[in-house]
Structure 1
Amino acid sequence: MNDRQRLSDNIRKLVRFKDYSSNKLTRETLKMFTLSKQRTWILLFLFLILFLITKFILFDEKTAVEIIANLTNILNSILTPMFAVIITGYAIFQAIANESTLLVLLKVTHKDDESKFAVYNKYFYGIAILYLSLTIINMVMQFIFSNLSKEWFLPIFNNHYNESIAAVLISLYLVVIINALIELKSFTYNLFQVFVTSTASTGINALEKMSDEKKE
């Protein structure tokens, strides 16, 4: 397949996203965030450590409601700026993707049989939706647990089971947040790759222009 055919094929695949609803696009982009085996084991290890710390150390000092209220307050001050950074990064991606860069990204086919541009665009959209969702969930949790009594618990369980359930949920929530923060490494890497492509494309155009001037 030559460059013209590859470009035409990738453009057709890209245009199909115009017919996607926001929910369908969100579902497809979030599939990109599947965990590798290495990260899965790391997160499982962190979950175990967090569970033990929460269950046997933190609950000796504070109730579950107090811990969750404090946690959501801290995370709110982290997630909101991170969401702003991601939106800014997406804007930078759009800004540095000039004509020559777009052509390069559209010609190069990713392993998923899509153009690099489609993959980068879906990834930036997906991570923005991921952080928006986490920010909203965290704000709702902060509102709820900030207004609950510190001594509130599930009446159908005794204190031991209440603490165990709370420790599991707190640890799981923290692991989800940690995974989202780790994902920023890929976000930065993808932004770096786009910047490199843009710079190289601009440099190639400059060299071609200099070569044409010499021939004249």
Structure 2
Amino acid sequence: MMKTLKLVQSSMIAAPLVLAAGMASAGGLSEPVQTVAPTPVPVAAAPMMHSSDWTGFYAGGQLGYGRVSSDDLVENIDGVTYGVHGGYLYDLGSLVIGGELDFEGTNGESVADDVQVDTIARAKLRVGYDAGDFLPYFTAGLAQANVTFSGSELSDTGGFAGLGAEYRVSDSIRVGAEVLQHQFEDFDGTGFDFDATTAAARVSFQF
């Protein structure tokens, strides 16, 4: 009986020791937890922004269509126009002002009237609104036309006004369009009055 009691007491003492040893052993065998670093997310490059300043010299070319009408003509004169232009703009913030010179040739003629419009040159004042990459503008000035009438070369100066718009493709390239209305009275002392309308697509390079 005493031996049995001692055995039970020994078992009760040994059990907690065995359990503690097992827990210590299990803890020692466990592997450390590894933390996985997050995968870096690529950041998209910021889009290229154009300069918002229209200030500077520019030059380019234009291609369009023109029509001359008059009560003194049997038929209207229609033809393709083509030429070059150059000028300077100054950006004041919302307002853009500047001046431009352009020169155009044309193949417009009226066989019935024996009249051919040869060239037209313009001195322009431009006033526009800075809308970022978009520039709508008003233009007006003087135009000098050279006309061949019945074999004689005539030249005279009139006025014009019109509207245009340009879009900035890059800091150095702009595309646009322009519509102009011209008026000539008593052309070169002949008593010949006429109006001319031109519409042209333009490409300009700023530098």
- Structure-2-length-normalised TM-score: 0.23
Bigger CA radius of gyration:
2
- Structure-1-length-normalised TM-score: 0.22
